[in-house]
Amino acid sequence: MKKLEEILRTWEPVIGLEIHAELTTLNTKMFCGCKLEFGAPPNTHTCPVCLGLPGALPVPNRAAIESIVLAGLATNCDIEKHSMFYRKNYMYPDMAKNFQTTQGPIAFCMRGHLDLDVDGANASERYGLADLKPGESTGNITRTEDGYVAHVGITRIHMEEDAGKMVHIGGGEGRIAGATHSLVDYNRAGTPLIELVTEPDLRTPEEARLFMQKLRQIYLALGISDCSMEEGSLRCDGNVSLRRRGTTELGTKTELKNMNSFKNLHDGLLYEICRQAQVLEEGGTIYQETRHWDPTAKRTIVMRVKESADDYRLFPEPDLAPYDLSDEFIESVRAKLPELPDDKAARFQEQFGLSAYDARHLVEHRSTAQFFEACMSDATHEAGDAAIKLAKPLANLAINDVAAWLNANPDVVLDESPLTPNRAVQLVQLVADGTISSKQGKEVFAAVLADDADPKAIVEDRGMQQVSDTGAIEAVVDAVLAENPDKVEQYQGGKIGLIGFFVGQCMKRMQGKGNPQIINELLASKLDA
């Protein structure tokens, strides 16, 4: 198949996402008082309501309604005061009532948007970006210095309930194909679920990935979901179609499922764009179908062909009272809005003088952003206004070293780890004042985690302090120059590459602790004199 870059010259991909998030941080289910808990023994968190027993009636969880309003406010949605629940009727064994309680044409949250910062190499996937100057806009994007900002519309966020879980047995590896039986567990049935639907405003797999990532940051900041793509509490389906550049009519779309990681979302969409381009270029037809991304085989497979629109016999749920949300209610929810990632990044730029890039990446993870703030608070306590100088190195530490360490050790809880904010500040300070080199800084970082010790103590114990005393270094420099008159002559004759030899000799005599910068300066002044 052709490469994406080549395809994008002829075709414009049109991508929309449907993102489901389980409100895992609540205590109970959407319509009953059963506990929300992942991994409990099967069917132990069930009751008449979530088992769909005859006669049972639903009662909505107030906290779930507050959560979805929170999500709507955080994604710039209009909060609809008047809405209702509906029944979406279809028979499937993981749905105890054989209808899903969801919302109708009017959802709690309508007409929102998120702005995505796309930078780096991936920004070049956006067709026509090169024609724009920074600050210029076309369509839903605005060029920036290092990429562009994409304005992505959100159609709606509606409230619904999750289904139970099925395990297929008798076939291979729990797969539905070849299974003879299924086991149904309704513990998950009735878990509060919010579904966000985007406008078809996304144009590249990278934009889709960034949207999902940004939404996840927001939901995590709101504390409404644990957003675990692995456990399925955050799930994403993608609708993809292609149209020839310059045309406006939408092509036939396929719906992509099973993109249960950021990488799978990106790779699945990328594959599907390439597949559709190939089919269309060979004169074939795209069918409206649901396709499953197989990350192992690296391709999408047809799950179901839709011959016509599904008819779910949607009608207002008579067992649930309609909603008439008051301004008071909405404002009480708004008052619970925490600082959102975008606002936090703007504050970090303003308050600590960070670059936009650093600030944006710092807020990608709630834990690193929190850690950075704790460090700055500690540094300010120690050094007052001078702490601002440590902002950049502390941000780098958080974005690079801390994030990499957390990625490699997903079980680590930063708050409970040996790396306290105070230790991070010590470490950065030791590098900043030249006590240790930045290379030694990496060694000390590893040692703090391994030994649960203060950076100062580690540097002391290991005798890692750089010698920055000019007098002491000058003596060594003089000695080295005196011992190598032939090399001095060669250097002065133009073989300036020998500087490395002199530095190495000095370092050797000082057992690696000499401040390289001072050594270099002294050598230069003496040799060039």
**Residue 25 φ/ψ, nearest 5 degrees:** -85, -5
Q: Which helix (H) or strand (E) holds 106?
A: none
Q: Considering beta carbons, is residue 15 or 277 the nearer one to other proteins?
A: 15
For residues 477 and 115, what is the distance between their CA atoms, to the nearest angstrom? 57
Q: Considering beta carbons, is residue 80 or 125 the nearer one to other proteins?
A: 80
Q: How far is the CB of 52 from other proteins (least distance, A)?
A: 4
Q: Considering beta carbons, is residue 91 or 121 the nearer one to other proteins?
A: 91
Q: Considering beta carbons, is residue 329 or 405 the nearer one to other proteins?
A: 329
Length of the chain: 529
* Spatial CA neighbour of 108 closest among 160, 58, 157, 162: 157
34 DSSP assignment: P
80 DSSP assignment: P
Q: Considering beta carbons, is residue 54 or 135 the nearer one to other proteins?
A: 54
| Token couple for 76 | 């710039």
> Looking up tokens 């979530």, which residue turns up?
50
Q: How far is the CB of 84 from other proteins (least distance, A)?
A: 7
Largest CA distance in the chain: 101
Q: Considering beta carbons, is residue 184 or 503 the nearer one to other proteins?
A: 184
Q: How far is the CB of 401 from other proteins (least distance, A)?
A: 39
Q: How far is the CB of 156 from other proteins (least distance, A)?
A: 15
Q: Which helix (H) or strand (E) holds 65?
A: helix 62-74
CA 127 distance to own-chain centroid: 24
- Given phi > 0 = left and psi -120 to 50 = alpha, else beta, which region is 444? alpha
Q: Which helix (H) or strand (E) holds 323?
A: strand 323-324
Q: How far is the CB of 159 from other proteins (least distance, A)?
A: 11
Q: How far is the CB of 456 from other proteins (least distance, A)?
A: 47
For residues 119 and 313, what is the distance between their CA atoms, to the nearest angstrom? 45
| C-beta separation of 107 from 196 below 8 A | no
Q: How far is the CB of 225 from other proteins (least distance, A)?
A: 14
Residues linked to residue 305 through DSSP beta bridges, in sequence order? 289
Residue 494, classified by CB atoms within 10 Å of its CB into exposed (0-12), middle (13-18) or buried (19+), is exposed
Q: Considering beta carbons, is residue 310 or 385 the nearer one to other proteins?
A: 310
Q: Considering beta carbons, is residue 1 or 57 the nearer one to other proteins?
A: 57
For residues 414 and 236, what is the distance between their CA atoms, to the nearest angstrom? 28
| C-beta separation of 185 from 164 below 8 A | yes
Q: Considering beta carbons, is residue 182 or 370 the nearer one to other proteins?
A: 182
